[in-house]
Amino acid sequence: MDDLRVGDEDPRGLTRGAPVDVTFDGEPVVAFEGESVAAALLAADVRATRTTRRGGRPRGLFCGIGACHDCLVRVDGSGPVRACLTPVRDGMAVTSHVLGAGGPA
Amino acid sequence: MSGDRVPLVVLGAGPAGVAAAVAAADAGVPVTLVDLGARAGGQYHRREPAPFTTARAGALHHGLDRFSDDVERLTRAPGFRHVTGAGVWGVQRLADGAVRLATDRPELPLLEADAVVLATGANERVVPFPGWDLPGVLTVGGAQALLKGQGMRPGRAVVVAGAGPLLLPVAAALARVRTHLVAVTDANDPRAWLTGSPRGLRPATVKEGAAHLAALTRRGVRVRPRTAAIAAHGDGRVEEVVLARLARDWTPVPGSERTVPADALATSHGFVPDVGLAVGLGCTLDTTEATAPAVAVDTLQATSVAGVWAAGELTGVGGARVAAHEGTVAGLAAARTLGGTVDDTTLERAVARRRADAPFLRTLARVLTVGDGWTTWLTPDTLLCRCEEVTVGTVDTAIARRDADDLRSIKLTTRCGMGHCQARMCAANVAGLLTARTGRPPADPGTLDRRPVAHPVRLGDL
């Protein structure tokens, strides 16, 4: 049960989208079309996707539905976006959200 | 600037919003359904994204087939429009009584409606504890969204702990897909469901609960009553969770603490109505529960503002079935005002069906409580506001120094509730802590729900 992606155990008989190439802070991440950035990073064992502005503490996916904004990342040099609401795209470069690299959060 | 003008906007495409849209559409009113999701369903019927396919979509859902039929019927209704992926960040009432909405969809920046049904749902409440900001701690709803929406487990060794109606279904769904569940604990005693008036128990709810328990039992998982996750530890991510048995008021039983290894902790303690847009329109709140202000409505789901109805969790938490009952009433009432064809019998029946939910709602209110003892889990450096990283100690100092009895003072002196989430995560906990420290509810309940801009927007979208 090492893979966090549910396989044949899913009673819905789930089939994922096509595999796509994504990177997180330059490292390749396995992802499938339709997945959120947050889910793809989780499956790649990335739990902390940014550090906080004041305490420099690690943060990651929390509410999973776009309310808390803890999972902010940057994609292809964008401003901060919520990883839980952002679908992966082939060739997407995701970077952790660090203060000073393009505005506060 | 003016936008498209439509007769009726339904805001939110969960069980309440879709029921409202169906009722209004059946009455001949063109409906514009606006929602953040890519497909209808809300959080309860969250679906997998389009590139995913399923052989049996309803297998992890309860009542999905009927909901999908409703959505399908809507798409064929004359004048129906479903605006997907739209975050509504602003609302405004115009001089002629119409409501103007500002969305983050570039092709639809503004939308005006003669009438609105608000069905914005609820947010989960997570009471804070040391380590709740560590990556790997997520809400129970977040775990559900991962599973239903992405076919993903939250971790390899998972603790599910908390309280509220979502706990058992999500733990059971995780068990069904063979997630390694280290522990499943409920801070309340689930047996409380079975005490009290049998009228307050719906057979369908009992059957559902029993099915969830059976799924857990089949996987060798026992739900521990009166037990909570009161701390999480780890170096940069969750590695251990501290469980403790609780007294009835959620104060940990001394010496009962037990540390278990885990890489994920799914936790939440109930729901808080999402009243932000309703407050923006000037709707009166019912603040009987200071930690969970709800939109006040009459028996026709009308708010205090003419032309604005509300249905579902934002009017008080009752679950998907009650939400759908309320949605039907709101949709019919709004349609009648707009000149739709609504006969009295249909409306009376819908109102009666909602009225019949009262005993169940009384049971919910009795069973799904948050014990005051959660404040004893806190240490001075526990975060109360995650966004602005405001600690319990900082808020305690503000309360003591200023002799504060209101939320506004705490917000202005500590920045609690001024971050990205705009107090969605902390409002109930700030109100709860203030109540615990001063011995009375805040003087200004609902203050942290004022959000002139409902969620962060790029300056370019303004």
Taking an 8 Å cut-off on Cβ atoms, the answer to whether B153 and A59 are in contact is no
pLDDT of B460 reads 63
Over the stretch A59-84, which tens digit does the pLDDT of each residue have? 999 999 999 999 999 999 888 999 99
Over the stretch A21-57, which tens digit does the pLDDT of each residue have? 999 999 999 999 999 999 999 999 999 999 998 899 9
Inform me whether the pLDDT recorded for B452 exceeds 80: no
Helices (H), A8-55: 37-43
Distances (CA, A) of B429 to B270, B271, B357: 12, 12, 28
ipTM of the complex: 0.94
pLDDT of B43 reads 86
Taking the CB of residue A62, how many other CB atoms lie within 10 A of it?
Answer: 27
Q: What percent of chain B has pLDDT over 70?
A: 98
Instruction: Look over chain B and give the mean of its residue pLDDT values, rounded to a whole number.
Output: 93
Q: What is the mean pLDDT of residues B7-15?
A: 97
Distances (CA, A) of A31 to A6, A20, A94, B136: 14, 5, 12, 20
Inform me whether the pLDDT recorded for A100 exceeds 70: no
- pLDDT band for position A103 (50/70/90)? very low
Q: How far is B179 from chain A (nearest CA, A)?
A: 8
Q: Which helix (H) or strand (E) holds B137?
A: strand B137-138
Q: What is the mean pLDDT of residues B5-22?
A: 97
For chain B, say whether A12 makes contact (Cβ under 8 Å). Answer: yes
Over the stretch B271-309, which tens digit does the pLDDT of each residue have? 999 999 999 999 999 999 889 999 999 999 999 999 999
The label of the residue with tokens 């009376």 reads B348
Over the stretch B162-200, which tens digit does the pLDDT of each residue have? 999 899 999 999 999 999 999 999 999 988 888 878 888
* A window 20-59, beta carbon within 8 A of B: 32-36, 39, 42-43, 47-49, 52-55, 57-59
Nearest CA in chain B to A62: B138
Q: Which of A5, A17, A68 sits opposite B421 (nearest CB)?
A: A68
DSSP conformational letter for B251:
P
- Six-digit token string for B146: 């991962």
Q: What are phi and psi of A37, to 5 degrees?
A: -55, -40
Comparing A1-5, A77-81, B389-393, the range with the smallest average pLDDT is: A1-5
Q: Which domains does chain A have, with CATH numbers?
A: 19-98 (3.10.20.440)
Taking an 8 Å cut-off on Cβ atoms, the answer to whether A69 and B387 are in contact is yes
Taking the CB of residue B171, how many other CB atoms lie within 10 A of it?
Answer: 31
pLDDT of B416 reads 93
Inform me whether the pLDDT recorded for A4 exceeds 50: yes
Taking an 8 Å cut-off on Cβ atoms, the answer to whether B146 and A48 are in contact is no
pLDDT of B58 reads 81
Nearest CA in chain A to B43: A65
Pick from B380, B277, B275, B338: nearest CA to B97 = B338
Inform me whether the pLDDT recorded for B375 exceeds 60: yes
Inform me whether the pLDDT recorded for B55 exceeds 90: no
- pLDDT band for position B461 (50/70/90)? low
Inform me whether the pLDDT recorded for B12 exceeds 50: yes
Over the stretch B239-252, which tens digit does the pLDDT of each residue have? 999 999 999 999 99
Q: What is the mean pLDDT of residues B84-111?
A: 93
pLDDT of A104 reads 44
Taking an 8 Å cut-off on Cβ atoms, the answer to whether A11 and B179 are in contact is no
CB contact at 8 A, A30 and A19: yes
Pick from B166, B151, B158: nearest CA to B52 = B151
